[in-house]
Structure 1
Amino acid sequence: MECRLNITAGYKEGKSYIKDLYVGTPFRVVSVGQRKRDNKLYQMIMSTSPGILDGDQYIIGISLEEQSRLQLASQSYQRLFDMENKATQNLTVDIGDHAFFAFVPHPVVPHENSNFESRAKITLGKESSVLISEIITCGRKHYGEVFKLKKFHNLTEVFHEGKLIVKDNVLIEPGRIPIQNIGILEDFTHQGSLIFVSTKKDTDKTELVNHLVEKSKDFPEVEIGISALESGGFVVRALSHGAEVMYNYFLAVQDFLWEEKILTP
């Protein structure tokens, strides 16, 4: 089934708002920022489907106009069901000048024999920022499904002024790659990536990275590594034995960056 979702965030009189919204089955979008007083836009993506099924094609488009601020959230863990063939997702994000988009979704749970390919293309304007993450679990561990998926492949590309500045390629294919060998995941069962890229010229990467390293001490169950990007920003890699603690750490990173003064209008 082809599943489409398009969101356009606008900016007017100092406030971000939903300028345009197209929701196709099985998506729903609800506002979750009623108690916020910062004039930014908070939306949650929901679904009437229990998860992604064989043959599903998710096509999601996000657009942020100049100066807008949009933070997306997901409803729950994303399940990838048993598949004869595969399912796909294409995410396109266009971020205008002086805008900021953040999306920290719940972890992905690939069931046995699931096959999922995802691609995200993000375009940044001038003085704009993006924060996006993903967490992949080993599957339904308590059902004995530890890395019994067929394939999980996610490619994320970030562009600025027509130039590719960040490319992140995650592939888990247990039938070909010994995922739990030394140098890969070893005995860890969950892995995550968080990408933050900013074209703001006054972004102090060193200060941000040092803060996030210090913050990680509050989450001792998560092993993290942070790499600063030449283009401005950083990539966080995380490993753990559980999804919730890693998800909470990523939310803490998002909260810090979202409120940081250098990222506000």
Structure 2
Amino acid sequence: MIAKLSVKTALREGKTYLKESYFSPPFKIADITEDKQAGPLHLMLMSSSPGVLDGDELQIQLELSEKTTLFLHTQSYQRVFTMNNGACQTMKVFMESGASLTYLPSPVVPYENAIFVAGNQIYLRKNCHLVWGEILTCGRKLNGEIFRFSKYRNVTEIFLNGQLIIRENLLLQPRLIDPSGMGQMEGFTHQASLIMLDEKLNTALLTEQIVAFLSSFHDLIFGVTEAHENGIMLRILGNKAEQLHDCLKKIAGWHSLPELNLKQNADAS
């Protein structure tokens, strides 16, 4: 099944609203903004399907006009069912100057023999704010399906003013390489990644706060680095999907703190 969803945002009196939307089954989109006077738009991406099925082709496109702010939420875990041929998803995001997008989807759960290939292309203009996350689980862990899927691949490419600045390629093929082995996931079953980009972000201070926060968890390991453009890239390994999701949401929420939105002047005294 080919399913499509597109969203366009616009600004009216300083508030972001849903200008246009289109979706075909099983996709649905709902405006869940609680405070209509606050400014940002909150949308819930929903599906009437129990999950991703064999042969599915999912196409999502977001267009954020200048200075609009969108928080895109997902309804539930993305379950990728047992397959013979595979399924795919493409997501394209276009952000005009000063636009802001936060997308922290619920974890992905690939079932036994699942085959899933995803691609994300994000096009930014100047002064954009991007928070982009992903969480991949080992499968139905409580059912004994630990890394029993066939293939999971997700490639994320981020462009700034037409120039590629980040390319993240996540590929797991458990039948070829054991993910639990040394140099892979080191015995952990779940992984999370987070990209935060913002020209005004104090990346040094944010990195310090991330390290201090995540170091307090004894059941996680992580790595964080500053991106080539102003921002950070983070990866966390753990064993609990909700724990990882909560960590990403907490870190993503820090961008509203004034001290993180002011780049320090090295010459200041």
Report if the CA contact (8 A) 2:202-2:261 is conserved.
no
Query: 1:5-40 CA distances to partner (integer Å, 9 max, x unpaired)?
Result: 001111121111101110110111112222365211
Cα gap change, 1:79 to 1:225, in 2 (>3 Å):
same
Of 194, 202, 222, the residue aligned with 2:220 is 222
Give the equivalent residue in structure 2 for 1:240.
238
Of 234, 257, 262, the residue aligned with 1:260 is 257
Cα gap change, 1:182 to 1:217, in 2 (>3 Å):
closer
Report if the CA contact (8 A) 2:15-2:37 is conserved.
no
How far off its partner does 1:220 sit? Answer: 4.2
Query: What TM-score comes out, normalization by structure 1 length?
Result: 0.94
Give the whole-Å Cα distance in 2 for the aligned partners of 1:12 and 1:114: 44
Give the equivalent residue in structure 1 for 2:265.
none
Give the whole-Å Cα distance in 1 for the aligned partners of 2:252 and 2:37: 18
Give the equivalent residue in structure 2 for 1:4.
4
Cα gap change, 1:50 to 1:211, in 2 (>3 Å):
same
Where do residues 194-233 of structure 1 align in structure 2 (5 Å cutoff)? 194-198=194-198, 200=199, 202-217=200-215, 219-233=217-231
Cα gap change, 1:36 to 1:251, in 2 (>3 Å):
farther
Give the whole-Å Cα distance in 1 for the aligned partners of 2:261 and 2:6: 25
Given residue 230 of structure 2, which amino acid in structure 1 is its aligned partner?
G
Give the whole-Å Cα distance in 2 for the aligned partners of 1:228 and 1:143: 38
Give the equivalent residue in structure 2 for 1:29.
29
Query: Which aligned runs of 4 or more in structure 1 are off by greater than 6 angstroms?
Result: none
Report if the CA contact (8 A) 2:221-2:238 is conserved.
yes
Percent of aligned positions with the same letter in both sequences? 34
Cα gap change, 1:36 to 1:183, in 2 (>3 Å):
farther
SS at match of 2:83: coil
Given residue 38 of structure 1, which amino acid in structure 2 is its aligned partner?
A
How far off its partner does 1:222 sit? Answer: 2.8
Where do residues 173-192 of structure 1 align in structure 2 (5 Å cutoff)? 173-192=173-192
How far off its partner does 1:79 sit? Answer: 0.2
Report if the CA contact (8 A) 1:219-1:245 is conserved.
no
Query: 1:59-113 CA distances to partner (integer Å, 9 max, x unpaired)?
Result: 0000100000001110011000000101000000001101111100000000000
How far off its partner does 1:218 sit? Answer: 5.5
SS at match of 1:46: strand
Cα gap change, 1:147 to 1:113, in 2 (>3 Å):
same
Deviates more, 1:77-86 or 1:212-221: 212-221
Count of aligned pairs: 261
Give the equivalent residue in structure 2 for 1:149.
149
Cα gap change, 1:236 to 1:39, in 2 (>3 Å):
same
Give the equivalent residue in structure 2 for 1:96.
96
| Stretches of structure 2 lacking an aligned partner (at least 5 in a row) | 263-269
Where do residues 77-156 of structure 1 align in structure 2 (5 Å cutoff)? 77-156=77-156
How far off its partner does 1:263 sit? Answer: 5.9
SS at match of 2:152: strand
| Stretches of structure 1 lacking an aligned partner (at least 5 in a row) | none
Report if the CA contact (8 A) 1:193-1:238 is conserved.
yes
Query: 1:102-150 CA distances to partner (integer Å, 9 max, x unpaired)?
Result: 1000000000000000000000111112111111100001111000000
SS at match of 1:180: coil
SS at match of 1:101: strand
Report if the CA contact (8 A) 1:222-1:245 is conserved.
no
SS at match of 1:35: coil
Give the whole-Å Cα distance in 1 for the aligned partners of 2:36 and 2:242: 25
Query: What TM-score comes out, normalization by structure 2 length?
Result: 0.93
Cα gap change, 1:26 to 1:229, in 2 (>3 Å):
same
